[in-house]
């Protein structure tokens, strides 16, 4: 549970201490396997839900991928496109975690 207290020296600001409950109404998809042919050629994979902005984490073989470096995201189409250097091979394990409505 989080407590909100006045910030010392700045009474117009408040600071949160502890963990704040998420009141956004969003849900969380954890370790989802995106849909797509994993054949060493395909770079495009599709998510089950439309992710909330900046909530997506993509893991390939246990390594966290970097957005706009290792992959790009099309939120409206729920589509992840891996870069040429990060094309998933047949034995690769791809998982994603994200918030969605």
pLDDT-derived band at 51 (thresholds 50, 70, 90) equals very high
- pLDDT (0 to 100) of residue 14: 66
Q: How many beta carbons lie within 10 A of that of residue 100, not counting itself?
A: 17
**Comparing 28 with 12, which gets the higher pLDDT?**
28
pLDDT-derived band at 90 (thresholds 50, 70, 90) equals very high
| Half-sphere exposure (Cβ direction) of 72: Cα atoms closer than 13 Å | 7
The 8-class DSSP code of residue 35 comes to B
The 8-class DSSP code of residue 91 comes to T
Flag whether pLDDT at 12 surpasses 60.
Answer: yes
* DSSP sequence for 19-33: -----S--EEEEEE-
Parse the chain into domains and list their residue ranges. Answer: 27-100
């Amino acid at each position: 549970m989080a407590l909100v207290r006045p910030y010392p020296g700045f009474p117009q600001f408040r600071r949160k201490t502890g963990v704040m409950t998420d009141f956004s109404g969003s849900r969380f998809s954890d370790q989802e396997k995106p849909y797509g042919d994993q054949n060493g050629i395909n770079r495009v994979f599709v998510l089950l839900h439309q992710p909330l902005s900046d909530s997506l984490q993509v893991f390939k073989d246990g390594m966290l991928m970097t957005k706009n470096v290792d992959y790009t995201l099309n939120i409206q189409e729920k589509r992840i496109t891996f870069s040429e250097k990060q094309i998933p091979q047949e034995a690769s394990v791809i998982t994603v975690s994200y918030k969605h409505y």
